[in-house]
Homo-oligomer: A and B are copies of this chain.
């Protein structure tokens, strides 16, 4: 049984791709890992190893991990999710010749990979407008979490752009902030909305499918027909979206694809390929179902 440690110490190189996230578990993380494992990893591109790390959301752990990897050449490439090396860390990676691919995070000098939230939201709202909807409520996430980043801001920008292009004035009274992206928050907000005087004919729930389904259920419970009275669009395309009654129209996040793509870029970069796109924006697809 040869010792990995000794070999690494001796050669100064570890043949593996490191995947670093804020934790080991979450729906998003799982799907990214699925993409990594199931496509390139299992198949040809690169078959040396994959090491999975978590920073536990701690900046200190993040820094130590990055430093150890860069300094000790403990990976041939690094894929990060929700975290990105800062300037100093990035320059350490550069010095070590380790390419970095950041998913849903940015770092100058790293290959960036993210979902086009603005484009996705724009598609959704434009579609609603095309269906004749005019009073479109927006349920959005709060900013603040590291994992969330600018996502809510970007989605709102897409919403606003679609309204603007259609000449619809934005009504701030139709916007809600949601903290935990839960079913219950969706219910609560829909109730509030229906009890107010606002006459809405659609809801774009940028805060995800769970929220959207909660909103849908409450609307139905309060006598509204979906989609006739109120059309609802979600975001994510989780399993629950197709299970819902009516099945939920939603913006599908290509999460697994992010994983595949990141792994592919890592592999190509390791193989010495040059001229890889530094910023890749992946456009989500609008999945049209019965709720619109």
Contacts and interface: CB of A to CB of B under 8 A. Distances in A.
Contact of A25 (B4, B37, B240, B245): B37
Contacts of A6: 5, 9
Interface in A20-68: 23-27, 30-31, 33-34, 36-37, 42, 50, 52-54, 56, 64, 67-68
Interface string A62-78: 00100110011010000
Nearest to A47: B56
Contact of A8 (B1, B5, B238): B5
Given A213-B243, A243-B213, A23 B37 contact: yes
A197 interface: no
Contacts of A245: 245
CB-based closest 4 A-B pairs: A1-B71, A25-B33, A25-B34, A1-B67
A5 B9 contact: yes
Instruction: Tell me if A's interface is mostly helix, strand, loop or mixed.
Output: helix
Given A23-B37, A50-B54, 14 more contacts: A3-B71, A4-B72, A5-B5, A5-B6, A5-B9, A5-B72, A5-B74, A24-B36, A24-B50, A25-B34, A27-B30, A240-B243, A243-B243, A245-B245
This chain's copy number in the assembly: 2
Contacts of A4: 68, 72
Given A9-B6, A240-B240, A68 B25 contact: no
A92 to B, nearest CB: 9
Nearest to A57: B42
A145 interface: no
Given A30-B30, A42-B56, A239-B240, A24 B37 contact: yes
Contacts of A240: 239-240, 243
A157 interface: no
A71 B2 CA distance: 9
A28 B203 CA distance: 33
